[in-house]
């Protein structure tokens, strides 16, 4: 039998029809199986976790069949309690599948500590931006009679402060500055 006669025979068309029917049935079965195993069109709404404690968050996520993953804490935010959630991903209200990980960023216990820069003998005009760039606040400024107009000493909560001392961000640093009059 030649190839042309085989491709035009009844046997070839019967086999082709059976193969197409088998392929359609196989695709239908696979699609139904995927719908069942992936919970097609079944979602869980992510709750709003911002400002809540870790214990509360854990209970709420377990109730919604979600998992949590804590990421590195961000900068301290005084608007939220210590160790409360300040960011979450996916955001509140998003629709996700059950057992999805919700990534959380917690509020640390306090501001991170930064070394106080050496601003001694610098003018106040140089010292103030240096402190503010590191997110320190300039507290009380006391002027004393001195030859130069530089920063003579620094203090934090009425205690002398040396350059390199670690202080939390936004700390108020009091300065004693020479007025250039002797």
* Residue 77 pLDDT > 70: yes
Question: Residue 74: its pLDDT value, please?
Answer: 66
pTM for this one? Answer: 0.55
Residue 150: both structure tokens together: 């530089």
Q: Per residue in 80-135, pLDDT tens?
A: 888 888 889 899 889 988 888 999 988 887 777 889 999 998 988 999 999 999 88
* Residue 26 pLDDT > 90: yes
Mean pLDDT of 10-38: 92
Mean pLDDT of 128-152: 89
């Amino acid at each position: 039998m030649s190839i042309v006669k085989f491709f035009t025979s009844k046997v070839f068309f019967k086999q082709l029809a059976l193969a197409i029917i088998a392929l359609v049935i196989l695709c239908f079965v696979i699609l139904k199986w995927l719908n069942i195993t992936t919970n097609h069109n079944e979602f869980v709404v992510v709750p709003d976790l911002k400002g809540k404690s870790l214990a509360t968050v854990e209970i709420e996520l377990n109730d919604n069949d979600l998992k949590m993953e804590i990421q590195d804490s961000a900068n301290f935010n005084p608007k939220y309690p210590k160790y409360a959630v300040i960011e979450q991903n996916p955001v509140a209200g998003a629709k996700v599948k059950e057992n999805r990980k919700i990534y959380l960023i917690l509020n640390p216990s306090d501001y991170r500590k930064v070394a106080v820069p050496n601003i001694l003998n610098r003018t106040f005009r140089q010292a103030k931006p240096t402190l503010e760039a590191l997110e320190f606040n300039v507290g009380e400024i006391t002027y004393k009679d001195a030859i130069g107009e530089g920063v003579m000493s620094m203090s934090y909560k009425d205690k002398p402060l040396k350059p390199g001392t670690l202080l939390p961000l936004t700390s108020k640093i009091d300065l004693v500055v020479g007025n250039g009059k002797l």
